[in-house]
Structure 1
Amino acid sequence: MSKSELVFNKVNRILEWFLILIFALLVLDVLFQVFSRYIIGTSFTWTEEFARFSLIWMTVLGAAYLNAKREHLSMDFVYEKLSPSNKRKASILIELFIFLFALVVMVVGGGNLVYTTLHLEQLSGTLRIPLGYVYAIMPFSGLLIMIFSIYHITRIYTNKISN
């Protein structure tokens, strides 16, 4: 196994455990919210905001994780009709489009969003944390997706990955 494969697997493993942690915290938060509302008779407002932010992080990081595993949603009707050589070219093209999307929308756009919200000192309504920290997951996940796309392109190009 090459060094890049070891790093790739290690990053995926860390990402996987972080997603499990976020999901576990989300479940505990929602269970606490239901318990406090129906058993104690008091609703804590911070639980809803925490659940929302956890869901944002889990969704965006989950997209990066699925991209790494090449298990993202796709419609492959036309792709399956292609010859092996054209499948290889199409796979590289798809990875390039994913790379460009992550660069423009997630890294540049997300970075701009983080900068703006931190510069304007916007705080979340209940938890009072800077919203830039919540939105920072967008450019971070975008960078991960870009790195994963480069990794996949090199693996497709060297025929180490099946189309």
Structure 2
Amino acid sequence: MNILEQAVSKSDGILRILLALMMTLLVIDVTWQVLTRFILTQPSSFTEEVARFLLIWVSLLGGAYAYREHSHLGFDLLVRKLSQQKARWVFKLCCVLVAVFAISVLIIGGLNLVYLTWLLGQQSPVLDIPMAWVYIVLPLSGLLFLLYSVFFFFNAEQQFITQECIQ
């Protein structure tokens, strides 16, 4: 197993646990919000902000994990009509485009946002935590998208052999 496969394997395990933990916390938080609002008639002040921040993290990290598992939405009707070699070329092109997006928007743009909010000292209104901690998920998810797209690019041959066996 090479270094790239080890990195992907480790990130998969960590990401699965982290996503399960965050989803559990999100369910508990929203349940507590509903209970305090409608049963205790005294809404909790922090639950809405916690739910919003957890949803941001789950969405971005979950998007990276969905990309890894090939569970993201895709329009592959045209690709299925292509020959194996052309389909492999399109697959590699998509990997490059995902890597470019991950680097330019998520990593560079995300790091700029984190730096700016840290520099300005922006705090969340209720929890009073630095917003840079919330926004750090942008470059983190960008790194995951980049890792997975590089992994897919270099394992495109194996990807298509596996798909042939399934069909």
Q: Scaled by the length of structure 2, what TM-score is found?
A: 0.92
1:160 aligns with 2:158: yes
Q: Counterpart of 1:36?
A: 36
**AA partner of residue 42 (structure 1):** Q
Q: What is the percentage of aligned positions where both structures have the same residue?
A: 38
Cα deviation, 1:72-117, whole Å, max 9, x if unaligned, reads 2111121111100000000000000000001111001111111111
Deviation at residue 8 of structure 1 after TM alignment:
1.8
Secondary structure of 1:45 counterpart? coil
Separation of aligned partners in 2, 1:124 and 1:6: 37
1:33 is displaced (CA, Å) by 0.6
Measured in 2, the distance between the counterparts of 1:10 and 1:141 equals 15
Q: Give the equivalent residue in structure 2 for 1:103.
A: 103
CA–CA separation in structure 2 for the residues paired with 1:83 and 1:96:
20
For 1:160, what is the secondary structure of its paired residue?
helix
Alpha carbons 2:95, 2:152 under 8 Å: kept: yes
Task: Write the distance in 1 (CA, Å) between the matches of 2:71 and 2:154.
Answer: 18
Q: Residue in 2 aligned with 1:11?
A: 11
Shift of residue 6 of structure 1?
Answer: 3.9
TM-superposed deviation, 1:10 = 2.4
d(CA) in 1 for partners of 2:5 and 2:101? 24
Q: Is 2:58 the counterpart of 1:53?
A: no
Q: Are residue 146 (structure 1) and residue 146 (structure 2) matched?
A: yes
Q: Is 1:90 the equivalent of 2:85?
A: no
Runs of 4+ in 1 over 6 A off after TM superposition: none
* Alignment length (residue pairs): 161
3-state SS in 1 of match to 2:158:
coil
Segments of structure 2 that go 5 or more residues without pairing to the other structure are none
How many Å apart are 1:2 and its aligned residue? 4.8
- Measured against aligned partners, the alpha-carbon deviations of 1:103-134 in whole angstroms (never above 9, x if no partner) come to 11100111111111110000011000010110
> Once the 2 structures are TM-superposed, how far is the Cα of residue 23 of structure 1 from its aligned partner?
0.4
* Coordinate RMSD, CA, aligned: 1.3
Query: C-alpha distance in 2, partners of 1:115/1:5?
Result: 31
Name the TM-score, length of structure 1 as normaliser: 0.94
Give the aligned residue type for 2:54: S
Whole-Å separation in 2 of the counterparts to 1:14 and 1:46: 27
- The Cα of 1:13 is off from its aligned counterpart by 1.5
Match of 2:94, SS state, is helix
Q: CA shift at 1:69, angstroms?
A: 1.5
